[in-house]
Amino acid sequence: MYSFLDVVLGILFRIFLRLEVHGAENIPKTGPLVIASNHLSLLDPPVIGVAAPRKVHFMAKKELFVPVLGYIYKTLGAFPVNRGGADRAAIKHGIEILQSGEVLAIFPEGTRSKTGQLGKLEPGALMMAGKTQAVIVPTAVSGTDIKRCGRLWPKVTVRFGNPVPFPAVGLNKEVLQDLTNKLTADIKALQGVK
């Protein structure tokens, strides 16, 4: 069912959202991978899923798992997360996805941007990558915030940056902060922000 929805959404997104994808070749063909992206709207996860050449799993706030929408999100590889605190079950599930060599998209800002600008990235969001030594691909999405862009048929762009291997020095606060700083700079560069 994922493949079917991926094809259908791909066609719809290319027609109605004028979806453009840059840097898809930066997605490694195999191995655990974290796609770390800015977050503008509820369209971001399915747009990234269509843009990536591999099946993408992602966390979504549990409130989205209502009839119909929840089914679509689950079919697209989403699993619920309770954003009220550290959701150990969701984190464990994310680690299991990476340990099985699959792709997990995360939004390290922790919430959608209200301004369109990249917010502060949370270092803890990258812990799953550290625990699995997953490669991280910084990603920038633009145009999905339809309310702000003010057009019914926006132009949506996904830019995948160069893969960043998780440092082999171990998982500690300093490593996470350094990596968070690098990803912040990489995502801003993909957005064209200095």
Label residue 26 by pLDDT band (50, 70, 90). Answer: very high
Residue indicated by tokens 């606060």: 173
pLDDT (tens digit, 9 = 90+) per residue, 56-84?
A: 999 888 888 888 888 888 888 899 888 77
Residue 151, pLDDT score: 62
Question: Model-level pTM greater than 0.85?
Answer: yes
Cβ burial, residue 86 (10 Å; 0-12/13-18/19+): exposed
Specify the number of domains making up the chain: 1
4-15 mean pLDDT: 86
Residue 142, pLDDT score: 93
The pair of structure tokens assigned to 188 is 């801003």
pLDDT (tens digit, 9 = 90+) per residue, 164-193?
A: 988 777 778 888 889 999 999 999 999 987
Residue 150, pLDDT score: 58
Q: How far apart are CA 23 and CA 20, in angstroms?
A: 10
Cβ(158)–Cβ(22) under 8 Å? yes
Could you tell me which residues come within 8 angstroms of residue 122 by beta carbon, excluding any fewer than 6 positions away?
A: 108, 109, 110, 180
Label residue 95 by pLDDT band (50, 70, 90). Answer: very high
Residue 17, pLDDT score: 85
pLDDT (tens digit, 9 = 90+) per residue, 116-146?
A: 889 888 877 788 998 999 999 999 999 988 6
CATH code of 81's domain: 3.40.1130.10
**Domain span at residue 12?**
2-191
98-120 mean pLDDT: 90
